[in-house]
Structure 1
Amino acid sequence: MGDLATGMRYLGQGQKWVLRNGRWFGFGLLPALVTLVLYAAALAALALWAGDLVVWATPFADDWDSPWPGLLRGALTALLFAGGLLLAVLTFTAVTLLVGDPFYESLSEKVEESVGGVAEGPDIPLLRSLWISLRDSLYVLTRALVLAVPLFALGFVPVLGQTVVPVLGLAVSGFFLTLELTSVAMQRRAIPVRERLRMLRGRKALALGFGGPLVLSFLVPLAAVFLMPGAVAGAALLVRDLADGDSPTDGGDDGGAGGHGGASGAGGGGPRPEGHPG
Structure 2
Amino acid sequence: MLDAFTALARGTRLAYGPGLRRYVFVPIAINLLVYAAMLWYVLAHFGGWLEGWMAMVPAWLAWLEWLIWPLFVVSLVLVVFFTFTLVTHLIAAPFYGFLAEKVEVAATGRVPLDDRGLAKTAVDALGRELVKLAYILPRMALLFAISWIPVVNLLAPLLWALFSAWMMAITYLDYPMDNNKVSFADMRRRLAARWWPTLTYGGGVTLITWIPLANLFLLPGAVAGGVLLWDRHYRHLRDLSPR
Q: Same fold (TM over 0.5)?
A: yes
Structure with more contact order per residue of length (Cα contacts < 8 Å, sep ≥ 6): 1
Q: Which residue of 2 aligns with 1:236?
A: 227
Aligned to 1:140: 135
Q: What is the rounded CA distance, in whole Å, between the counterparts of 2:127 and 2:110 in structure 1?
A: 24
- AA of the residue aligned to 2:23: F
1:27 corresponds to 2:19: no
Q: Deviations over 1:13-39 (max 9, x none)?
A: 2123234x0563453143133123224
Q: Is the 8 A contact 1:93 1:180 kept in 2?
A: no
Distance 1:26 1:119, change over 3 A: closer
| Distance verdict in 2 for CA 1:122–1:113, change over 3 Å | closer
Measure how far apart 1:244 and its partner are.
1.6
| 2:41 alignment partner in structure 1 | 45
- Residue 186 of structure 1 corresponds to 177
Q: What CA distance in whole angstroms lies between the structure 2 residues aligned with 1:121 and 1:186?
A: 10
Q: Does 1:152 align with 2:147?
A: yes
| C-alpha separation in 1, matches of 2:184 and 2:77 | 26
Deviation at 1:194, TM superposition (A): 1.9
Q: How many residues align?
A: 223
Aligned-pair identity (%): 25
Deviation for aligned residue 1:94? 3.9
Compute the displacement of 1:81 (Å).
Answer: 8.6
Taking a change above 3 Å as real, the CA distance of residues 74 and 17 of structure 1, as seen in their structure-2 partners, is same
Q: Which residue of 2 aligns with 1:113?
A: 105
Cα deviation, 1:78-104, whole Å, max 9, x if unaligned, reads 999977643442244443343233422
Give the whole-Å Cα distance in 2 for the aligned partners of 1:74 and 1:195.
Answer: 43
The structure with more radius of gyration: 1
How far is the alpha carbon of 1:230 from its aligned partner? 0.3
Secondary structure, in 3 states, of the residue corresponding to 1:119? coil
2:113 partner SS: coil
* Secondary structure at 1:136 match in 2: helix
1:16 paired residue number: 13
Relative to structure 1, the CA distance from residue 170 to residue 71 in structure 2 (aligned partners, 3 Å threshold; closer, same or farther) is closer
CA distance in 1 between partners of 2:228 and 2:142 (Å): 28
TM-aligned CA deviation for residue 113 of structure 1: 1.0
| Cα offset, 1:196, TM superposition | 1.4
Counterpart among 88, 93, 96 of residue 88 in structure 2 = 96
Task: Answer yes or no: is the 8 Å Cα contact 1:175–1:204 preserved in 2.
Answer: no
Relative to the length of structure 2, the TM-score reads 0.72
Stretch moving more, 183-192 or 126-135: 126-135
Mapped partners of 2:139, 2:116: distance in 1: 30
| Structure number with higher helix proportion | 2
Q: 1:88 & 1:210 partners in 2: Cα distance?
A: 21
1:119 and 1:197 map into 2 onto residues whose CA distance is 19
Counterpart of 1:137 in 2: which secondary structure? helix
Computed over aligned residues only, the root mean square deviation of the Cα atoms, in angstroms, reads: 3.8
Could you tell me how far 1:74 is from its partner in structure 2?
6.8
Question: What letter matches 2:31 in structure 1?
Answer: T
Higher mean C-alpha displacement, 103-112 vs 120-129: 120-129
Query: TM-score, normalized by length of structure 1?
Result: 0.64
